[in-house]
């Protein structure tokens, strides 16, 4: 009877463990993997280091988030993160990390309702260097703050986020990403921004701009899908608010590509017909047109100009995903519907 009782106790214990702990094995992270950071976390005070924030983003990317998530689903979660995903090779930093991350506190403030709350998202951490994993446990109490999106969220590319090496870039990238669809984040109070970026110790605005904003601006342009300009507003001699003008990098690339095409066509207009013919002949050598098509291009000024312009658009990336430029150009020039 004692054996049967012990066996039954073990079954119940195992059931409780499966009920309250859910293990998350890493889904593959790709260029298309997005992070959705709930605004409730984004606007909270979180003293994560650069490496800790990378772990935090990977955890967010692995969770099954949603709107009006049922509280019955909340349970302790365990994550096994491959060390290779964290872009860090220093063993000692991981040893230090497993000591520090269980002490990190997320602090939420709601001044309107006079409500303040703090919690530790990752109370357990384990560095398993032999097997190449960093393991974390998130207690059930913290789970809803990571899963619930109904109060808004910032969505951004995790590969870009993980590539950032400045803690200020790490913090500003999600903030600006939450405003990228509107293209601007206006009247941002400088002191509040310093708090969000963990840069309140910069009392001089000049130092804050040079060591925080300028560093983030440069790194985000080089490594992420957004870029920003800033407009500063003063009261007296002090800069008090900032307008962030946000651009998507694909939009910037498109603008630059169109500028390059226009500049090239402007230079072509200044050439005499002889030099235009020489330039067109050189360009045509990279196409596989028939002799009849070649003559049709070189003998008709309108077709010639259209050919040079479309070739410039292909070269500068205005026309994307052109796998067979001869076939593409033949369609543009109207050859595809003619016998050649």
Clarify whether residues 159 and 31 are in a common domain. yes
- Model pLDDT, residue 67: 87
Question: What is the rounded distance in angstroms from the CA atom of residue 182 to the CA atom of residue 144?
Answer: 27
Determine the structural domain holding residue 196 and report its residue range: 164-247
For the segment 80-98, the average pLDDT, to the nearest whole number, is: 92
CA dist 165 and 58 (Å) reads 16
In this predicted structure, what is the pLDDT of residue 80?
92
Q: What's this model's pTM, rounded to 2 decimal places?
A: 0.70
Tens-digit pLDDT profile for residues 259-295: 888 999 999 889 888 898 999 999 999 999 999 999 9
What is the per-residue DSSP string for 170-219? HHHHHHHHTTTTTTEEEEEEHHHHHHHHT-TT--SHHHHIIIIIHHHHHH
Domain co-membership, 100 together with 44: yes
Rounded distance between C-alpha atoms, residue 126 and residue 103, angstroms? 14
Q: How confident is the model at residue 12 (pLDDT cuts 50, 70, 90)?
A: very low
The pLDDT-based confidence of 64 (bands split at 50, 70, 90) is confident
Buried b (16+ CB within 10 A) or exposed e, 217-245: bebbeebbbbbbeeeeeeeeeeeebbebe
Same-domain pairing of 2 and 147: yes
* Rounded mean pLDDT, 26-45: 86
Tally of domains within the chain: 3
Residue 48 reports pLDDT greater than 50:
yes
For all residues of the chain together, what is the average pLDDT?
86
Res. 44 pLDDT band, cuts 50 70 90: confident
Among the three residues 214, 247, 280, which one is the final residue of a domain in this structure?
247
Of residues 18 and 257, more confidently modeled: 257
DSSP annotation of 70 reads -
Which of 23-32, 284-293, 312-321 is least confident? 23-32
Residue 80: inside a domain: yes
Residues 139, 80 within the same domain: yes
Residue 169 lies in a domain: yes
Q: What is the pLDDT of residue 177?
A: 95
Q: Do 38 and 51 share a structural domain?
A: yes
CATH number, residue 176 = 1.10.10.10
In a domain, residue 340? The reply is: no
Residue 339 falls inside a structural domain: no
In a domain, 258, yes or no: no
Point out the least confidently predicted range of 12-21, 251-260, 286-295: 12-21
pLDDT at residue 243 above 60? yes
Q: Strand 153-157 and strand 133-138: pairing? A: unpaired
């Amino acid at each position: 009877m004692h054996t049967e009782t012990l066996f039954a106790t073990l079954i119940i214990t195992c059931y409780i463990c499966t009920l309250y702990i859910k293990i998350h094995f890493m889904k593959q992270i790709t260029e298309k993997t997005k992070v959705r950071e709930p605004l409730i976390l984004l606007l909270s005070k979180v003293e994560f280091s650069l490496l800790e924030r990378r772990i935090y983003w990977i955890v967010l990317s692995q969770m099954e988030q949603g709107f009006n998530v049922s509280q019955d689903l909340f349970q302790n979660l365990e994550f096994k993160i491959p060390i290779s995903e964290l872009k860090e090779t220093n063993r000692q930093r991981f040893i230090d990390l497993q000591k520090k991350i269980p002490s990190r506190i997320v602090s939420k403030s709601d001044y309107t309702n006079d409500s303040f709350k703090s919690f530790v998202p990752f109370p357990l951490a384990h560095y398993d260097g032999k097997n190449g994993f960093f393991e974390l446990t998130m207690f059930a109490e913290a789970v809803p703050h990571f899963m619930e999106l109904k109060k808004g969220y910032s969505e951004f590319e995790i590969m870009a986020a993980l590539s950032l090496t400045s803690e200020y870039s790490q913090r500003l990238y999600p903030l600006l990403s939450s405003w990228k669809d509107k293209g601007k984040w206006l009247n941002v109070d400088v002191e509040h921004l310093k708090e969000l970026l963990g840069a309140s110790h910069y009392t001089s605005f000049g130092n804050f701009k040079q060591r925080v904003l300028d560093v983030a601006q440069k790194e985000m342009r080089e490594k992420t899908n957004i870029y920003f300009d800033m407009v500063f507003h003063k009261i007296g001699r002090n800069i008090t608010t900032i307008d962030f003008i946000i651009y998507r990098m694909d939009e910037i690339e498109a603008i630059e590509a169109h500028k390059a095409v226009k500049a090239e066509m402007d230079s072509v207009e200044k050439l005499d017909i002889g030099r235009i013919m020489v330039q067109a002949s050189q360009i045509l050598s990279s196409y596989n047109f028939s002799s009849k098509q070649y003559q049709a291009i070189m003998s008709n000024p309108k077709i010639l100009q259209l050919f040079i312009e479309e070739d410039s658009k292909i070269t500068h990336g205005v026309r994307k995903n052109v796998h067979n430029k001869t076939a593409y150009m033949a369609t543009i020039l109207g050859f595809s519907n003619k016998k050649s």
